[in-house]
Structure 1
Amino acid sequence: MQDRSPADRQQLLLDAVLAVGGDLSLQSTLERIVDAARELLDAEYAAIAALDEDTSQVTTFVQVGMPQEAQGRIGHVPRGRGLLGATMFVHEPLRLDDLTTHPYFGGFPDGHPPMHSFLGVPIRVKNRTFGSLYLSEKNGGRPFSAEDEEVVGVLAGAAGVAIENARLYEESRRRGTWLEATAAITTRLMGGDDATEALQTVADRARVLADADMAWVVVGEARDALELKVVSGANADLQAMRTLPLERSIAAEVIESGEPMSVDDIRIDDRAVDVPARLGLPPLGPMIVVPLVSSTGVVGSLSLSYRYDRSEVFRAVDPALPARFAEHAAVCLEVAQGRENQERLAVLEDRDRIGRDLHDLVIQRLFAVCLGLDALSRRSDDEKVANRITEAVDELDSTIKDIRRTIFALGAVEASTDIQSEVSRLVERARQTMKVVPSLTFEGPVRTLVGTDEAPDLLAVLGEALSNAGRHAHARHVDVRVEAGDELVLAVTDDGRGMPVSIAESGLANMRERAERRGGTFEIYTAEGEGTRIVWRVPLAAGR
């Protein structure tokens, strides 16, 4: 091919500069640059390597001229070492008649076509290196000239500006996408989803926005009360999620500090709990963890993790974007939780009213009937009639006990998301009706390990135990202890008069049946004048 005239070359260069700056997509911009360079210098091969500004690693490599089958035989794209790296990091053009004679040349990979003439120019703007532009094998076997070097230098300058603009555009577009998602998730979270569904929505949207392979949310405000709540991007065992040791995890550090953190490889970082490995999921590498910050403080963390071969995607994510998204989501969750608490409070107030009506009206009337019948039985001369009346009184007494148990059960919200708070509330309610003030102690991660399956039985047994202690024990002290580990243990101890040897086990039988149904035990330790201790023990699903 004949050399172009200077005028033709200048026009081509002007057209190329205009074409390079005519697109805001980074990939399209890189393709336009290599096409323009190849045409300008009449070269057989042209390529451009774009660098990550933080790590100086090659993140994108675009080439033209090499057949697809040759690219397939070579496999991986260049990593920016050897001769290609020299152009990037020396920051000077490199023009060679035979690249194989250069000391940095390390040989071609298998399947690579032969090359000799070479011209490499760094792409720089304001002392920032964006990558390098390479050309090889000028047609006709000719070497690249000083004029070629000058032309490519001009094109590289325009390319640097175009790449910077494209990256700024991409960053602006990503920020806009995060902002749109923030607005969308506000509507979704305020739409009435329960807490778990809302957290799942947060994890799902964040994973898609950050182009992550997996996301998960840890909730809790203290190291010893953290729980992995939801996972996005994989099916996770809910029971296994509840047993993860998160006290010394990166999530715990983020929740404690309130600052985002990034990890290059969760497998080798001593601070990281490798959640995918612990849950039997595919291995992951780099991770971003951001706090969930509400008006009351940090209430959890959001983690975004990537496969090892997608580290460049991880590095392209600005942690500030998911951090702001998480902060906004946390505020929405707080508002949604406040609305849910108001609804729960309305239910509890209604239950309190029903409980008061049962206690003040129904039980008092039944108790008056019992007293009247009892007096009538003592005045009756007919033994059969007196016995029938006594039986009726006993039935009414059992009915009163059942109503008392129902009153306590009304105070227990089934499927509560916070069993520790429900136990505390039930004990507080008992303080208002008993002559003594029960003490309450928790041992182990009760809030984390006791799930919605065990909670109703625990609350029902506790309500029955407190009712018995208040009505029969004549105690000065009542102690309630709840322990969670491999087993869930409820112990209620009083210093009252103890249980008689022969006692009707209506309520006690109910507690024993609830334990045995779960493969547990129910034990009573009592002695006359020395008080009573009942121990209700069942295995936890997470500890089996």
Structure 2
Amino acid sequence: MRDRDELREVSAAVLAVTAHLSVREVLQTILTSARRLLDARYAALGVPDRSGGFGEFLADGLTDEQWRAIGPPPKQHGVLGQMLCSPEAVRLADIRTHPQFGWWPRAHPELTDFLGMPIVDGDEILGEIFLANKQSPGGFTAEDEELLRLLAGHAAIAIVNARLYERSRELSIMEERNRIARELHDAVTQKLFSLRLTAEAAATVVERDPARGAAQLATVRQLAAEAVEELHAVLIGLRPVDLAGDGLDAALRKQADLLDRVHKATVTFTGTPVPRLTAAREETVYRIAQEALHNALRHGEPTTVSVDLAARDGRVVLTVADDGRGFDPGARAQAARRLGLASMRERASAAGGSLRVRSAPGSGTTVRLEVPAGE
């Protein structure tokens, strides 16, 4: 019967490692199981921090009143500090005979027989688990030591998993920050740039030609509203506002028409029917088109900019070309242009596509993107 109960306890501890519980709950389950299985009066588990203390310190076998009376968690000294320096177990008939033993706080229970086990992952000691005051006669045995080593191994799994989850969460936060920065640069910056130019044009003609000034102010209002919508979409991770309507070709045509009205350069769109892409690829094509248009109008000083969308050999091809002053792709570009080019390449790669930028001083710039039309 005892063997069956031990099996259930070990099973509960192992399952706790894989259940959707916090690491503290998992470690507490393992600690409680260890104390019951090895028939100890007290048990504790510590995960050290980098300040000489323990970032996590759990105890079992104490009442809440006893725990509060003991005071703050221990530091990394004495026997506990020694266990963090060696992967070997510590098994003693009386802990007070250990050469590193110091003492304990006034309210701390008196410990005698002791079994301590480092929690190890490879060559790294992640923490320690220890039991004290065996309640059955004879003290802790070699079998007890092996069982505690098994449970310490499961505690190591829980701690490593928690670290991996935390690193994954940090990476997700960094990726989200990068996404927002990229979206702000690709979408909102272009709208604000166009808005600024239109506002400046309206200011110069509003007194001389009120009707024309009023038309340009209406465009300013439209651009401002669209910038707010784009910003909202970026912050909550929605698809671009224009794509939520009639699809990619209609969104690109609308973008080209708007920029044609706002800028001195003639901006045109030509396109043939293309198959519907996945939402991620549609957004990739749209954002790269935005960035290419933004770069051409802001940096290239062109007289014409053309946007072409077509389907060829199972791929959707976007081409944005201008007759502006161009640039040397091999030279060190302006920071804004470098960010824009890097953003386009990252997007194209993530969508399984390819991007080519062809330019030379005085010869304009052509951006060509190809993405698979299928899944």
TM-score, structure 1 length as denominator?
A: 0.35
Larger radius of gyration: 1
Q: Which has the higher contact order (CA 8 A, sep 6+)?
A: 2
TM-score, structure 2 length as denominator?
A: 0.49
